[in-house]
Structure 1
Amino acid sequence: MTANPLRHTKRLRLAMLAATFMLLLGHYLLPAKVRQLHPAAGVEQIIYGFIDPEQGESNQWVDERESEWVCDYLPTYDYGCGFALVWDRHEVNGIDLSEYDSIRLTLHYQGGADNLRVFMRNYNPHYSMPDDSATTKFMSALFAFREMSSNQINVPLNRFAVADWWLREHMERHRWSAVELNNITQIGINFIEPGHHQLRVEKVELVGRWLSTAQMLTWVLVAWMLLFIGEGCLLLWQLYWVAAYNRKRQRALQRRQRSLAIEKASLQKLAHKDPLTGILNRRGAEEHIKRLYQNTYSKAFTAVLLLNLDNFKLINEQFGHDKGDAILKAFSALIQMNLESSDIFARWGSEEFLLVCVAENQQDALYRAEKLRQLTERTHLSPAPGFNVTTSIGVATIGGNESFQQALTRASAALQNAKRSGRNRVKYEMA
C-alpha cells in the first residue's frame, strides 16, 4: 500500500508538454490544407455584365478554356461585369467553407483598375428561393491589385461582409446579417471601376489549416483535462485503498488487542492461580485482600485463618510427592466445597493455606475454623491405610486500625501454637 500510483505522472506530464509544444509548432509550420475549386470537375464558370442596347454585352470570353475574358465597363452602365464559379444551377446545394481561412486567387490582369471585388453567395432556405440567385446572401470583400504577389492574392474569409443592398431589399433579412459560409453556391469576382479590363482566372483555391486553432486548442485542453481527471481518479483510488487498508489494519489491530487483552487476562488469571490445586495463589490472594481493604466496613468483620496440613513432609518422604500432591488437591477441593461466596481461599505456602472470611467476632471465627478442622478429620484424607491427614489452624480477627499483615502475623503465631500443642487443633491469637 505504500506504492504511489502517481509516481509515473511526472513523466506523463513531461510527455504531454512535449506533445503540446510539437502540436503548436506543427500547427503553424505544417503545409496548409488546400482545396482547389477552379479548375475542377463539377464546377461551372460563367461571366456576366451589363447589356447595352447599342453596344451589346459588356463582357465576352477571350478563351473560355483558359477562363480568360474581357470586360468593357462604361461609366453609363448601371453595374460592372464579373466572373463566377457555380456549383448548382438551382442555387441550392453549395460547398462548406467554414473549415478554411481564406480564398487564394491566381489572376492575370490587364487594365487600369485599382481594386477588384471578390464575392460569395450562400443559400439558406430561411431567406433564399431555389433558382433565384438574387435571394441568396451576397457577401463580398475588396482587395487592391497592389496587394497581389506573383499574380496571387489571399483574401481572408473574415474580411467578407454582407452587402448593404442585399439587407435593404427586405427588412426581415436584417435577422440574417451575419456572414454565412456553410452553403456557398457561388464564388466570383467583378469589376467596380469603369474601363477596359482583361482577366484570366488561372486558379481559385481554398486555404486553411488541417486543424483550426480553436479545434487544436480544444484538443489540447481536453487532453490536459483528461490527464488531470486521470490523476484525480488515481489519487481517489489511492486514497480509497489506503483508507480500506487502514481500516483493515485497524480491525486487525483491534482483534489483536482483544486477543492480547484476553491473553493478558488469562495470564493474569493463571498468575493468580495455583497450578496444582486451581485455587488462588499467594499473589492472587493479595490482590483480593487489597480490594477488600478498600472497604472499611468489610475489613472490620474479617477473620484470617491459616491452615496447615499436619505431618505433610512425612507424607512426601514416605509415600512420594505424587501422593503429597494428591492430598493437597483433595484438601483444597474439600475446603472449597465448604466456603461462602465472600471467602478468599488460597494456597499460601507448600502445605499452608489461607482463608479470609467474614466473622462478626472471635467466637464466629473460631467456629468456622473448628468446623473445617473437623471436616478434614472426618473425611479421612489418607495417602495409605492407617494414615489419616489432619490440619492445624491459626485464627486472628482484624482489628479496626489493624493491617492485614499484622493480623496474618498473629494468625501465623496461633498456627505455631496449635502445632506445638499437638497438631489437629485450632488456636486463636489475640490482638
Structure 2
Amino acid sequence: MAHLQPPTYVLHASSSTRNLAAGIALTVALVLAQAWLPERSIDLAAPGAVSNLYLIAPGDVPGEPSPVQWVDYERRHWVCRNPANSPSQACGITLVLSGDDPARGRNLNGFDTLELDLAYRGNAAHLRVALRNFDPRFSKLTDGNSSRMQSINLRGRDVTKPVTLELAELTVPEWWITQFDLPREFNRPSVENVTSLSIDLTDSLAGQNHELELRHLTLKGPWIARDTLYLGLLCAWLLAAGTVVGRQWRALRRSHLRQQREIDALTARTRLLRVEQDKLRRLATIDELTGVLNRRGLESALEDFEAESAGVALVLLDIDHFKHINDRWGHAVGDEVLRRMAAIVSANLRTTDVIGRWGGEEFLVACQGRHADDAVRLAEKLRDAVQHGNFDTKGRFGITASFGVALAPPGASTHRAFKRADAALYRAKAAGRNRVELDTAHDAVTTL
C-alpha cells in the first residue's frame, strides 16, 4: 500500500523550536538591555558642550559695574549683587545649544531627564529652569521671546542636593501663552528644536546677593525608548508569527496537493488485518498485486464470520470483458485495472467489511450482519462506483462489473452461500452484465 508523505512543516519542527527559543532569548536580552545598560547622556556643563554660554543680567547702568559677574567662568561660578534701587533685576545663566544657525537647535526627544547639581547661596524662594524651542511657524530670530518657552520652578530647598528633572515636567508658562496668543496646538511643550537652556532666579532681587555655581547639568535618556522597543518587538513577533503561519499554510497546501496526486496510487485497504501482523503473515493472506486479501485470507475471514454466528452477506463481483482488456491493451494495463478495482471497492466499504481477490478478475466482499436489501444496495453502490471509476488515465476504455449477492444466516455455511452468490453472478453475466443479481434459493434468508 502506498504511504502519504508527512507534512513538510513536521520536518522543520526542530528548526522552528530553535528559532522560537532564539527569538524569546533575544527579546529577553533586549528588554534587560533597555532596562540595565547605561543611558546615553550629554553633560551640558562640560567644556565645549555648548556653542556659547553667557550670564543673564539687567541692562548696564552708566558708571556702575554689572550686578551679575563671573567668579570663575571655567567652573560656571557667578554672583549677583543687586542694588536696592535697581529698577529691574535679572540673575542667571544661558547655555546656547544652537550652532552657526541660531534657528537650528538640538532635538532632545531622545532624552527624558535633566540632572542638575547647582550650588546656591542666597534667599530666593524659587529658581527657574527653562528651555527655548524655536518653531519656524511662529518664532522669529529678531524676537528672542518668540521661541516657545518651557520651564519649571524649583524651590530653594530643592537644589540643596542634586536633583533630577523629568523633561515632561516642563510646561509653557501662562504669560508666554497670553503674550503671543497663538492657536492651542502651538502652546504644547516641545523639545524637538531646543536652542537654549537657562537657569535663573525669578523672585524680586533688589538689595540681595546671590551666589551660584553650576557643577553638573546632564541630559539623560535611553538609547532606545521603552515604547519604541516594545512596539518594535511586537511588530517583530507579529511578522515572525505571520511568516510561520504562511510557511505552514504553504507546506499544508503542498502536502494536500501531493496527497491528491498520490490518491490514484493507493491500491487497497485491508480491514481485518492487525497492524502488528508480521511480514510473513501479510505475504500469506494479502494479494500481492492488489493489496487486498487473497483467497486464503478470505477463507480465514469467512471462518471468523461463521464462528461469530452473526450472519453474513456475500457480494461476488467479476469484471466484465476483462480478457478483452488483456488481449487488446496488454497485461500491464490489466493489472492496473485490477489494482484500481480493489481501490474503488475498498473506498466504498465500511471498516468492518472485508474485501479480497478470489481469483483472476473476481473479487469477494463479505459484510457481517446485513439484511438482503442492504446487501443489494451495497452491490448497486459498488456497481455504480465501478462504472464511473477512472480505470484508464488515457481514456481509452471504461470498466463495468457484474455482481452476485447471497446471504448466509447465523450458523449457516458461508461455503454454500458462496456457491449461491456465484450462481447469481452467472445469471447477471447471462442477463447482459453490469447488473446485480440476488440469490433466491430456498435456504437463503432476507433478514439476518
Scaled to the shorter chain, the TM-score interval is 0.5 to 0.7
Gap change, CA 1:61 and 1:135, over 3 Å in 2: same
Q: How many residues align?
A: 283
Please name the residue that 1:175 is paired with.
185
Q: Please say if 1:13 is aligned against 2:20.
A: yes
Partner of residue 214 from structure 1, selected from 227, 234, 245:
227
Q: Which runs of 5+ in 2 are unaligned?
A: 268-288, 291-332, 342-359, 363-398, 403-422, 436-448
Q: Which amino acid is 2:337 matched to?
A: I
Q: Deviations over 1:322-372 (max 9, x none)?
A: xxxxxxxxxxxxxxxxxxxxxxxxxxxxxxxxxxxxxxxxxxxxxxxxxxx
1:47 is matched with which residue: 55, 70, 79? 55
**Residue 105 (str. 1) matches residue 105 (str. 2):** no
Within-5 A mapping of 1:396-407: none
Distance 2:132 2:177 in 1: 13
Aligned-residue offset at 1:103: 1.5
Among candidates 96, 116, 128, match of residue 107 of structure 2: 96
In the aligned structure 2, how far is the partner of 1:230 from the partner of 1:95? 40
The answer for the alignment partner of 2:70 in structure 1 is 61
Q: Is the 8 A contact 1:167 1:173 kept in 2?
A: no
Match of 2:430 among 289, 292, 303: 289
Tell me how far 1:136 sits from its aligned partner: 0.6
- Residues 103-133 of structure 1, C-alpha deviations (whole Å, 9 max, x = no match): 1223222222343210010111101112431
Q: Partner residue of 2:95?
A: 85
C-alpha separation in 2, matches of 1:207 and 1:190: 22
Offset from partner CA, 1:386-420 (integer Å, 9 cap, x none)? xxxxxxxxxxxxxxxxxxxxxxxxxxxxxxxxxxx
Matching residue within 229, 236, 252 for 1:223 = 236
One-letter amino acid of the structure 1 residue matched with residue 76 of structure 2: S
Query: Which has more radius of gyration?
Result: 1
Measured in 2, the distance between the counterparts of 1:163 and 1:181 equals 15
Q: What secondary structure is seen at the aligned counterpart in 1 of 2:135?
A: coil
Q: Map 1:20-419; keep pairs closer than 5 Å.
A: 20-41=27-48, 43-51=51-59, 53=61, 57-73=66-82, 77-86=87-96, 87-88=98-99, 91-148=102-159, 151-193=161-203, 194=205, 195-253=208-266, 262-263=337-338, 267=361, 288-291=429-432
CA apart distance, 1:137? 0.7
Query: Over residues 141-190 of structure 1, what are the superposed CA-to-partner deviations in whole Å (9 max), with x where a residue is unaligned?
Result: 122343447x4222110000112111111222533011111111101100
Q: CA RMSD in A?
A: 3.6
Once the two structures are TM-superposed, the CA of residue 231 in structure 1 deviates from its matched residue by 1.6
**Aligned letter for 1:191?**
L
The whole-number CA distance in structure 2 between the counterparts of 1:223 and 1:176 is: 35
1:196-241 deviation line (CA, Å, top 9, x unaligned): 2111112322101111111111121122112211221222122111
Q: What secondary structure is seen at the aligned counterpart in 1 of 2:257?
A: helix
| Structure 1 segments unaligned to the other structure (5+ residues) | 273-281, 295-431
Please tell me the residue identity of whatever aligns with 1:14.
A
Measure, in 2, the Cα distance between the counterparts of 1:205 and 1:66. Answer: 15
Classify the secondary structure of the residue corresponding to 1:242.
Answer: helix
* Shift of residue 286, structure 1, vs aligned partner: 6.2
Quick check: 2:120–2:159 contact (8 Å CA) kept in 1? no
Provide the C-alpha distance between the structure 1 equivalents of 2:57 and 2:257, rounded to a whole number of angstroms.
83
Check conservation: 2:126, 2:201, Cα contact below 8 A: yes
Residue 33 of structure 2 aligns with an amino acid whose one-letter code is G
CA 1:104–1:284 in structure 2 vs 1: closer, same or farther (change >3 Å)? Answer: closer
Residue deviations 1:268-317 (CA, integer Å, cap 9, x gap): 79x99xxxxxxxxx99986543449x9xxxxxxxxxxxxxxxxxxxxxxx
Q: 1:288 to 1:13 in 2, by over 3 A?
A: closer
Structure 2 contact 119–159 (Cα < 8 Å) conserved: no
The letter of the residue matching 1:71 is: C
Alpha-carbon distance, 1:63 to partner: 1.8
CA distance in 2, matches of 1:85, 1:66: 14
